[in-house]
Amino acid sequence: MKTVLCYGDSNTYGSPGNAAAAGGYRHAYANRWTSRAQQTLGSEYHLIVEGLPGRTTVHDDPIEGVYKNGRRTLLAILESHTPLDAVVLMLGTNDLKARFGLNAGDIAAGVGVLLKMINIFALDYGPIKTILICPPPILEVGAMAGMFAGGAAKSELLPSAYREIAQTYGAAFLDAGTYIQSSRDDGIHFDTAEHVRLGQVVASSISALLA
C-alpha cells in the first residue's frame, strides 16, 4: 500500500463555499476532494487528510492563532504518519489575507520553506515524493471579501511563482485553477462539483507520480 499525506487548509479539510447548500460547516465525507481521490485510487493507496481551516504556509496568524502556521506542525505530522510515499501540499490561500501584506513571491517562498522541510525530513526517513498544488484564484465576494481585500489580483500571479518553486525543490506541480474555480458564494472555498473534479485530477497526478 502506498501512503500519501494531504497537507492543506480548509479546502483540504472540506469547508464549503456555501455552508447552507452543503448542509453544514464541512462537505459530506464522500464529497471532499480527498475522498474522491481515495475512491479513484482504490485500496492500494491510503490518503491521510491533514487539512486545517486557516492554515498558512509559514506565518503566525495574529488573530486566529499561531497554530495556524503550517511550518509549526509539519514535521510532527510527517513523523506521526511515517513511512510516507508522497505528500500533496496545497497551501497559500490564507496567506492572501490582507493582514499579512504578502505578495505572490512571498507566498511561494513560504511554500518553498515547507518543500525544503519535507526534503530534509526524507533524508532521515526515506524518499518522499511531493506534489505542489497551486490553489485556484480567489474572488473578493461575500462575507470574507474584506479579509481578503487585494488578494484576488495576487492569487492570479501564484501559478507561475508556484511552478518555479516546485522546480526548485523537485516537486511535481499541479495548477488547480486549470481545472476548478473558487465558489462564487464566498470566493475562497470549493463547491461540491469542484471537489469532485479536483479529486479526480489529484488521483491521476498521484498515480503518475508513484507509478
Which domains are seen in the chain, by residue range?
2-209 (3.40.50.1110)
Q: What is the pLDDT of residue 70?
A: 98
Read off the DSSP letter of residue 30.
G
Measured distance CA(68)–CA(112) in Å, rounded: 17
Measured distance CA(22)–CA(141) in Å, rounded: 18
Running along the chain, 211 residues long, what does each successive block of 10 average in pLDDT? 98 91 86 98 98 98 97 98 98 98 98 98 97 98 94 98 98 98 97 97 98 92
Q: Render the chain in DSSP notation, one character per residue.
A: -EEEEEEESHHHHT--SSHHHHTSSS--GGGSHHHHHHHHH-TTEEEEEEE-TT-BSS--BTTTBGGGBHHHHHHHHHHHT-S-SEEEEE--TGGGSGGG---HHHHHHHHHHHHHHHHHHHHHH---EEEEEEPPPP---GGGTTTTTTHHHHHTTHHHHHHHHHHHTT-EEEEGGGT----TTTSSS--HHHHHHHHHHHHHHHHHHT-
What grid cell was written down for 211?
Answer: 507509478
Measured distance CA(136)–CA(139) in Å, rounded: 10
What grid cell was written down for 117?
Answer: 522541510
Q: What is the pLDDT of residue 48?
A: 98
Bond before 83 cis per omega within 30 degrees: yes
Threshold 0.75, pTM exceeds: yes
Measured distance CA(146)–CA(151) in Å, rounded: 10
Q: What is the pLDDT of residue 112?
A: 98
What grid cell was written down for 91?
Answer: 497551501
